[in-house]
Amino acid sequence: MIEVEALTKRYGRTTAVDGLTFAARPGTVTGFLGPNGAGKSTTMRVVVGLERPTSGRATVDGLPYAELAAPLHAVGVMLDARSVHPGRSAYRHLRALAQTHGIGRARVREVLELTGLESAAGRRAGTFSLGMGQRLGIAGALLGDPGTLILDEPVNGLDPDGVLWIRRLVRELAAEGRTVLLSSHLMHELALCADRVVIIGRGRLLADASVAEIVARSERAGTVRVRTSEPEPLLRALLERGAHVTPQEPGVLQVRGATVGDVGAAARRCGVTVLELSTEAGSLEDAYLRLTADAVEYRTSDAAGAPAGGAR
């Protein structure tokens, strides 16, 4: 269980995280989504105690991270593939982490096997590809068999096989009752493996809801797409009915405020041939772009109202 309450982190005049509140619950994969520089990594670093919040708090299982007696058993952390000394072998890196908590060699071998690194265990981490570095990071996170996992961009640099593996892994970890917080900039990736999504932009919370709820908020969700040989008469007919119509590519209209039935009936009344007629499903990507676009607008008006000299 990860709880972030009114978390703010400033670096000088720059506010990286601004009053952020959310929770990641046991048995759930929580996706953490936001554009670059939104504050995802900063939030994660604060949660694991590498950085102190300017105000607010972050706790794991009810305790600030630094007060955990056995952090490795409580939280598995993978922040950055470059969290390993490049001159040290994968085995020795994991072994050193394990020794702090008195975890034996057997478990080190186990996580190496689990992440498919057993053949590379003796190689220096500096010679690893990005994907292998990610696997080593995940091996370190699993070392203490923790109840909570914090993974920053875990699929970054993985081959399709590795991506599939991560997806199954996080689903399985959550099914075992663990809390998984997973950041990504790949929205479709989160749509496939997250239960809930926390979206932030410029350090502020934009959305905290289930994947289905977010998708339903999508711009396109519930709109009707119709392709016809003569769009003009249909466009007029639909506008008369009070629908919102946006012409798209030649012959295609996007209709908001009308069902497929309404559009079909309208087409029949004005005698045009319908070539294609469907309700569009929203996508997480769409919803995400819309949410972050709002954040951009909000930020602009905010800056305009603020006194001159903002650090932008």
From residue 93 to residue 112, what is the string marking binding to other proteins with x (rule CB under 8 A)? Answer: x-xxxxxxxx----x--x--
With CB under 8 A as the contact rule, the residue among 35, 49, 56, 157 that binds other proteins is: 49
With CB under 8 A as the contact rule, the residue among 34, 147, 154, 231 that binds other proteins is: 147
Residue list 121-140, contact with other proteins (CB under 8 A): 135, 140
| Residue 7, helix vs strand vs coil | strand
With CB under 8 A as the contact rule, the residue among 164, 212, 265, 303 that binds other proteins is: 164
Least separation in angstroms between residue 280's CB and other proteins is: 35
* Amino acid identity for residue 177 in this structure: G
Q: Is 58 an interacting residue with respect to other proteins (CB under 8 A)? A: no
From residue 62 to residue 81, what is the string marking binding to other proteins with x (rule CB under 8 A)? Answer: ---xx-xxxxxx-x-x-xx-
| Residue 301, helix vs strand vs coil | helix
Q: Is 25 an interacting residue with respect to other proteins (CB under 8 A)? A: no
| 286 CB-side CA count, 13 A | 15
Q: Is 203 an interacting residue with respect to other proteins (CB under 8 A)? A: no
Q: Is 211 an interacting residue with respect to other proteins (CB under 8 A)? A: no
Q: How far is CA 86 from CA 105, 132, 138, 310, in A?
A: 21, 13, 16, 39
Q: Is 208 an interacting residue with respect to other proteins (CB under 8 A)? A: no
With CB under 8 A as the contact rule, the residue among 87, 247, 261, 310 that binds other proteins is: 87
**216 phi and psi, to 5 degrees?**
-65, -25
Rounded distance, CA 183 to CA 192, Å?
Answer: 13
Least separation in angstroms between residue 200's CB and other proteins is: 19
Q: Is 89 an interacting residue with respect to other proteins (CB under 8 A)? A: yes
Least separation in angstroms between residue 143's CB and other proteins is: 9
Q: Is 194 an interacting residue with respect to other proteins (CB under 8 A)? A: no
Which DSSP string corresponds to 146-214?
-SEEEEESTTTT--HHHHHHHHHHHHHHHHTT-EEEEEES-HHHHHHH-SEEEEEETTEEEEEEEHHHH
Show the tokens assigned to 28: 């759930």
Sign of the Cα torsion 170, 83, 18, 72 reads positive
With CB under 8 A as the contact rule, the residue among 58, 153, 155, 178 that binds other proteins is: 178
Rounded distance, CA 205 to CA 213, Å?
Answer: 16
DSSP H stretches of helix in the chain: 40-47, 71-74, 90-100, 105-114, 130-142, 160-175, 187-193, 211-216, 231-240, 260-269, 284-305
Number of other CB atoms surrounding residue 126 within 10 Å: 13
**Size of interface with other proteins, in residues (CB under 8 A):** 60
Q: Is 182 an interacting residue with respect to other proteins (CB under 8 A)? A: no
Q: Is 40 an interacting residue with respect to other proteins (CB under 8 A)? A: no
Residues that bind other proteins (CB under 8 A): 45, 48-52, 65-66, 68-73, 75, 77, 79-80, 82-89, 92-93, 95-102, 107, 110, 113-116, 135, 140, 142, 144-145, 147, 159, 161-162, 164-165, 168-169, 172-173, 176-178
